């Protein structure tokens, strides 16, 4: 499985699993509260029976002065779950029946542990279903990506012969032609096509994620002669001796070629391009004497022109 496929699978799984897991947790929380309420009601029923026959070894029976407590109501107190009942012939006292806190906690924990086991089992089932749903949901995307990759391979295969012919014949033409500068431009254009072809191969090999350390200033110095040959009236100056960088070299070179080509192409006659590196802000600055961009916010939109 390729990296982007794994990332998509992981995100889809997380979406399914977290959503269903939270929904399941909410259901179990509400069910737990209902079971605790059922436990309280069950104990209260036993207390009422105990108030009649006093045959209840699991409960503690005591007498309490009448006060704020109301009879026939449950109270969670320090000495456990308690209820108060009227005593025939007594105006000042209630019968207090309590369920010990240890016993109550034991019953509540037993309910809790049983529900936790059920929750974990269902959570495991949800995890398995989430993986299956994610694989099923990603199948159309994977099929489309395979189609795109096959299309790119076909393009690369079809480009090999004409590009090789252009490179070979331009080299022969440059040797025999009187004006080798124009032929050299043809060669440079062919090299640009070869670079695009290599970028497509890099995409297929997933080289985009492979980073390396290199000197960007040296890379710029390699690019500048080609730019100056294409635009001889433009002066290009690099104001940095070394620019350490850690990224994908091929992708960065493609960005530089595009930026410098546009800076030269849309510059004024006999214009200038200055390349600087701000070490404090860690920014590479490319400035030119062209007319600029009216809408800089749209500069990173694909194929945007003014």
Confidence of residue 110 (pLDDT cuts 50, 70, 90): very high
Please report whether residue 156 resides in a domain. no
Question: Are 128 and 7 in the same domain?
Answer: yes
pLDDT of residue 43: 93
Domain final residue, candidates 140, 172, 187: 140
pLDDT of residue 39: 93
Confidence of residue 99 (pLDDT cuts 50, 70, 90): very high
The domain total for the chain is 2
Domain final residue, candidates 140, 169, 190: 140
Q: Is the pLDDT of residue 281 over 80?
A: yes
Q: Is the pLDDT of residue 93 over 70?
A: yes
CA distance 199 to 160: 14
Please report whether residue 35 resides in a domain. yes
Percent of the chain at pLDDT above 70?
A: 86
Percent of the chain at pLDDT above 90?
A: 33
Tell me the whole-structure pTM to 2 decimals: 0.51
CA distance 286 to 301: 19
Please write the tens of the pLDDT for every residue from 33-83.
999 999 999 999 999 999 888 888 999 998 888 888 888 899 998 888 999
Please report whether residue 102 resides in a domain. yes
Question: Are 22 and 132 in the same domain?
Answer: yes
Please report whether residue 40 resides in a domain. yes
Please write the tens of the pLDDT for every residue from 128-165.
998 988 888 888 877 777 777 777 777 777 676 677 77
Please report whether residue 118 resides in a domain. yes
CA distance 289 to 274: 9
Question: Are 114 and 227 in the same domain?
Answer: no
Q: Are 190 and 170 in contact (CB under 8 A)?
A: yes
More confident residue, 234 or 137: 234
Q: Burial letters for 191-210: b for 16+ Cβ neighbours within 10 Å, e otherwise?
A: eeeeeeeebeebeeeeeeee
Confidence of residue 207 (pLDDT cuts 50, 70, 90): very low
Give me the domain span that covers residue 48. 3-140
Tokens of 25: 């947790």
Question: Are 112 and 225 in the same domain?
Answer: no
Please report whether residue 94 resides in a domain. yes
Please report whether residue 183 resides in a domain. no
Question: Are 7 and 130 in the same domain?
Answer: yes
CATH label of the domain that carries residue 292 = 3.30.565.10
Question: Are 126 and 255 in the same domain?
Answer: no
């Amino acid at each position: 499985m390729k990296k982007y496929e794994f990332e998509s699978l992981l995100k889809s799984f997380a979406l399914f699993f977290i959503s269903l897991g939270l929904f399941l947790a909410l259901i179990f929380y509400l069910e737990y509260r209902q079971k605790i309420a059922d436990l309280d009601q069950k104990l209260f029923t036993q207390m009422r029976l105990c108030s009649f026959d006093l045959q209840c070894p699991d409960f503690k029976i005591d007498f309490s002065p009448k006060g704020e407590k109301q009879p026939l109501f449950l109270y969670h107190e320090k000495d456990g779950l308690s209820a108060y009942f009227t005593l025939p012939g007594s105006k000042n006292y209630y019968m207090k029946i309590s369920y010990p806190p240890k016993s109550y906690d034991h019953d509540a924990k037993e309910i809790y542990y049983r529900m936790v086991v059920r929750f974990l089992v269902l959570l495991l089932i949800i995890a398995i279903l989430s993986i299956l749903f994610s694989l099923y949901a990603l199948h159309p995307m994977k099929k489309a990506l395979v189609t795109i990759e096959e299309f790119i391979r076909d393009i690369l295969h079809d480009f090999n012969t004409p590009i090789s012919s252009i490179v070979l014949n331009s080299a022969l033409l440059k040797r025999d032609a009187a004006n080798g500068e124009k032929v050299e431009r043809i060669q440079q254009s062919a090299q640009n096509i070869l670079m695009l072809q290599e970028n497509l191969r890099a995409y297929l090999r997933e080289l985009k994620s492979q980073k390396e350390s290199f000197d960007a200033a040296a890379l710029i110095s390699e690019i500048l002669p080609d730019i100056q040959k294409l635009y001889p009236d433009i002066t290009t100056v690099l104001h940095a001796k070394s620019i350490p960088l850690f990224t994908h070299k091929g992708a960065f070179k493609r960005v530089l070629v595009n930026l410098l080509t546009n800076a030269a192409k849309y510059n004024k006659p006999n214009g200038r391009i200055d390349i600087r590196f701000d070490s404090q802000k860690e920014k590479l600055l490319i400035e030119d004497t062209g007319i600029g961009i009216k809408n800089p916010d749209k500069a990173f939109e694909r194929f945007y022109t003014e």
